[in-house]
Amino acid sequence: MGESYSTESTMRLRASWKDDRPLKHPGIPTKIDRSRWRMRSDSGRHTWHYLDDDEAAKEWPLSLADKYYLNLPLNQPTLPLPTRPLDALQNGLTYFSKLQLPPGHWGCEYGGPMFLLPSVVFAWVATNTPIPWPYAIELRNYLFAHAHPELGGWGLHIEGDSTVFGTSLNYTVLRLLGVDAEHPIMVKARARLHSLGGVIKAPHWSKFFLAMLGVCDWDIVNPIPPELWLLPDWIPVTPWRWWVHIRMVFLPMSWIWSKRWTMPETEVIRELRQELFTQPWETVDWAAERNNIAEIDNYHPKSWILNAFSWTIMNVWNPFLRPRWLVGRAEAWVSRLVDMEDLNSDYADLASVNGPLNTILCYIRDGPDSYSLRRHRERLEEFLWVNAEGMLVNGTNGVQNWDTAFLIQAVVHAGLAEDPKWKPMLVKALGFLESQQIREDCIDADISYRQRRKGGWAFSNKDQGYPVSDCVAEALKAVILLQKTPGYPQLLEDQRIYDAVDTLLEYQNPSGACSSYERTRAGPYLEYLNGAEVFGRIMYEYDYPECTTAVVTGLALFQRYWPDYRRHDLEVFLQRAVQYIKTAQYPEGGWYGSWGVCFTYGTMFALESLFTIGETYGNSSHAKRGCDFLVSKQREDGGWSESYHSCEKLKYTEHPSGSQVVQTAFAIIGLLQAEYPHMEPLRKGIKLIMDRQLPNGEWAQEALEGVFNNSVLISYPNYKFIFTIMALGKFAKRYPNEKII
C-alpha cells in the first residue's frame, strides 16, 4: 500500500471543513471504493488489502466471501422453496459452503466491543506507525456508522448507550485520524461526553490510554504496579492466578504505567486537552479524579479493599518506600514475561488489547527499528476487518477453528457427511483443523504460568497458540466424527488425538467444571481487586456450563472409539463434570451462558451434558426443568428472543426486537438434545427458522449473539448458519418425514 496517512500531520484548518470527508491530507483520494478491498487468508491468518490500481484489482478479483463480508451483491440464485427442514438445511449449506475460504475454514467479522479499535489505533499512533489512508477513511466510516443516533458518542459495545469509556476513546481516535472537531458527529459526541462529566469520569483503561497519549496526566491513573509480578506464587491475589485476559492486559500496562511513558506532544493532543474536559485542563486536580467515574460506566464499582490498596500505593509506597532497584527488577521481569507471550504466539498475542499494548512496550523498549516492533506491526493487521460500514478491530484474530468445528458437527449430525455434495467441503475443513492443531507446549511454560497446550486448538488459529477448553473439545469432536466416517482421510493419527485428550483432562477445576483457557487458580474473592469498572466476572477463571459441556461431549465421543485410553481418568472426569452441571442450574430451570446471549445459549449446552449421561426429559428432573424453562420462554411466533440485558442482570430478559433466529436455534437444539417429547413447540421454532431463511438460502444478521464479562456484546455472524443448520438437522433426524411449510 503506497500512500500512508501520517499521524503526525493531524493538524488541519477547521474552517476548511466542507464535505463529509473530514480526513484532510494532501494526496488522500477523495473517494474510497469499497469493492477494492480483498481479504487474504494465509493458513488462517486474515489480512485486508486495498487495491489502489485497476490492474491489481483485475488480477485479484473479489471472491464471494469478500463480497459477503463487504455486503456487496453476491447474486446467488433463488433456491427451490423448502418444505421440509432438511431442504432448508441444504439450501443454507449451499449458500454457506460458498463462503468457505481456500484453507478450508470460514471467516467473519468479530466486532461489537468499542474499545478494541482504539487500542490498535493508539498503538499505531504511539509507535509512529503510518496509517494507510484507506484504513484511516474506513476506520472513520465505521465509527461514524456506530455513533449513537440519539445520544451521540459511543458505548461499551455497538448496541449499548454511549458511555464515557466508549466516547472518550473513540472521539480521540477520530481526532487522531484527522477528523475535524466541528464535524456534527464530533460536536454531538463531545456534548454527550460533557453531559456525562467529561474525561475525568472515564474508567481506568480510558484514563490509562489517555495518559499514555498525553491527554491526561499520569496522576489520574489508578496504580498498576509491576511489583505485583514479584510476589511469591502462594499469595492468593498474585497475577498468575488472574484470568489470562486480565493478566495479559495488565502485564504491559504495568510496565508502561511504571515508566509513566507518554508519547511526544502533538498539536492534536493539545487540542484534545481542550475538548475532552469540562474545565480548563490546567486546573484539573489529577490525583483527586482517579476514582471519579460516571455512573453509566460503573458496571462493577471498585471495592473498598482495592481503593485502600490503590491509595496506599500512591500515597505511601510510591513516594516514600518504592526502591529503585525493586522497580528495575519488577520492570525487567514483566518485560521478560511480555517476551514470552510474544515468542509463544510469534507476536500474534492473546487478543486485540494485549497485542497493541505489547507493541507499544516493544517500541519504547526496543526502539522504532526493532524486529519486535516490525513483527508486532504485521500482527496487528490480523485484528482488522472490513465490513459494509468500514474498518473495525476484531475481538481476536478471528473465529476460524471455532466456526469450522461447529459447522463440521452440524453437517455430520444431519447425516450428510457421506453425501458427495458436501464431502469435498468437509475434507477441506478437516484439513484446516489438522493444520491448526497446536503441536508443542509453550517455551518456559512454568515460569510464564501457561498450562499444557500440546494437541489443543485455539479459538482462532494455531499462531495465537492459546487453547481454550471448549475450542479443543469442539475441534476434537469434529475431527473424530469425520475421521470415523467411512471414506475420510485419517489426517490425525491416534497419538495426536491422545494429545488433545491429555490437554483436555488438564482443564477440570475442583468443582468438576471447566473454565476457559486455564484451570481456575483463585476464587470469587479476587473480584474485590477488579479495577476495570466496566466489566464483571473478569478477574479469575470461572466455571462455565458451556465449556464444561463441550469437554464432556468431547471426551464421551472419544471414549466411544478408544474405550481403554485413560479409562479411569475419563470416567472420573465425566462424572464430576456432569455433577457440576446439575449444581449450576438456576432456580427457574435454565443455565446462565457466559459467552452467548444468554440463558438459551447456556441451557442448550447443559442439556447436552445431561444427555451424555443418559438424562433426558423423561427420566431427569434437571433436564425436564431445563426444557420447561425453555418452552416457557417461547414466543407466540415460535421463536425465542433474549436480550443481552440477561447477561448483565443474570435474569432472562426479552429482546425488544422480537424473535431471533440464532436463539431459536439454540433453544430447539437444547430441547432436541433433551428428547423433549412434544413436537408442537419444536415445529413452531423450526418454522420460524425456515420462514426467516431468504430465497438464496442465507439468513439475515439480527442482534449480536455473543457476550463476555457480563457486559460486552460481540458478534458471531456465522452462528446464523451453523446453529440453524444444526437445529434443522437434528429436527430432521428425529422427525424425518415432517413437512413444515
Nearer to ligand LAN, 471 or 631 (CB): 471
Are 638 and 664 within 8 A, CB to CB?
yes
CA dist 385 and 209 (Å) reads 22
Catalytic residue among 297, 470, 499, 543: 470
DSSP-assigned states of every residue in 687-721? HHHHHTB-TTS-B---S--EEETTTEEE--TTHHH
Q: What is the number of alpha carbons within 13 Å of residue 731 lying toward its C-beta?
A: 35
Q: Quick one: the chain helix, strand, coil %, rounded to 5? A: 50, 5, 45
Nearer to ligand LAN, 68 or 402 (CB): 402
Angle between helices 545-561 and 599-612 (to 10 degrees): 30
Buried b (16+ CB within 10 A) or exposed e, 403-434: bbbbbbbbbbbbebbeeeebbebbbbbbebbb
Are 216 and 286 within 8 A, CB to CB?
yes
Are 454 and 531 within 8 A, CB to CB?
no
Q: Give the shortest CB-6-to-ligand LAN separation in angstroms.
A: 28
Chain mean position to CA 40? 20
Nearer to ligand LAN, 96 or 402 (CB): 402
Nearer to ligand LAN, 89 or 607 (CB): 607
Please provide the distance, in angstroms rounded to a whole number, between the alpha carbons at the two ends of the chain.
Answer: 51
Q: Whose CA is closest to 588, among 577, 598, 580, 579? A: 598
Nearer to ligand LAN, 96 or 507 (CB): 507
**Cell numbers standing for residue 179:** 477528523
Q: Give the shortest CB-492-to-ligand LAN separation in angstroms.
A: 21
704: left (phi over 0), alpha (psi -120 to 50) or beta: beta
- HEC string of 159-194 equals CCCECHHHHHHHHHHHHHCCCCCCCHHHHHHHHHHH
Q: Give the shortest CB-645-to-ligand LAN separation in angstroms.
A: 18
Q: Give the shortest CB-55-to-ligand LAN separation in angstroms.
A: 38
* Dihedral sign for Cα atoms in the order 296, 252, 116, 266: positive
Q: Give the shortest CB-120-to-ligand LAN separation in angstroms.
A: 12
Residues 6+ apart with CB under 8 A from 261: 212, 364
Instruction: Kindly report the number of other CB atoms within 10 A of residue 304's CB atom.
Output: 9
- HEC string of 201-220 equals HCCHHHHHHHHHHCCCCHHH
CA dist 123 and 127 (Å) reads 6
CA dist 48 and 380 (Å) reads 11
Q: What is the number of alpha carbons within 13 Å of residue 297 lying toward its C-beta?
A: 31
Q: What is the dihedral of CA 472, 477, 483, 487, to 10 degrees?
A: -130
Q: Is 640 helix (H, G, I), strand (E, B) or coil?
A: strand
Interface positions with ligand LAN (CB under 6 A): 245, 249, 351, 353, 395-396, 402, 459, 468, 470-471, 516, 535, 546-547, 595, 708, 714
**Cell numbers standing for residue 278:** 469540562
Nearer to ligand LAN, 133 or 154 (CB): 154
Q: Whose CA is closest to 432, among 424, 441, 421, 440? A: 424
CA dist 328 and 330 (Å) reads 6
Nearer to ligand LAN, 66 or 474 (CB): 474
Q: Whose CA is closest to 673, among 618, 632, 715? A: 618
CA dist 405 and 346 (Å) reads 24
Q: Give the shortest CB-541-to-ligand LAN separation in angstroms.
A: 10
In the annotation, is 637 catalytic? no
Nearer to ligand LAN, 69 or 535 (CB): 535
CA dist 607 and 622 (Å) reads 9
Q: Whose CA is closest to 530, among 166, 203, 168? A: 203
Are 729 and 126 within 8 A, CB to CB?
no
Q: Give the shortest CB-457-to-ligand LAN separation in angstroms.
A: 10
Q: Give the shortest CB-113-to-ligand LAN separation in angstroms.
A: 6
**Residue whose beta carbon is closest to ligand LAN:** 395
Q: Give the shortest CB-659-to-ligand LAN separation in angstroms.
A: 23
Nearer to ligand LAN, 23 or 361 (CB): 361
Q: Give the shortest CB-215-to-ligand LAN separation in angstroms.
A: 22
Nearer to ligand LAN, 516 or 653 (CB): 516
Q: Give the shortest CB-716-to-ligand LAN separation in angstroms.
A: 8
Q: Give the shortest CB-404-to-ligand LAN separation in angstroms.
A: 13
Q: What is the dihedral of CA 440, 441, 444, 447, to 10 degrees?
A: 170
CA dist 594 and 718 (Å) reads 18
Q: Whose CA is closest to 459, among 370, 396, 415? A: 396
Nearer to ligand LAN, 310 or 352 (CB): 352
Nearer to ligand LAN, 298 or 318 (CB): 298
Nearer to ligand LAN, 156 or 740 (CB): 156
CA dist 525 and 681 (Å) reads 42
Q: Give the shortest CB-183-to-ligand LAN separation in angstroms.
A: 29
Task: List residues with catalytic annotation.
Answer: 470
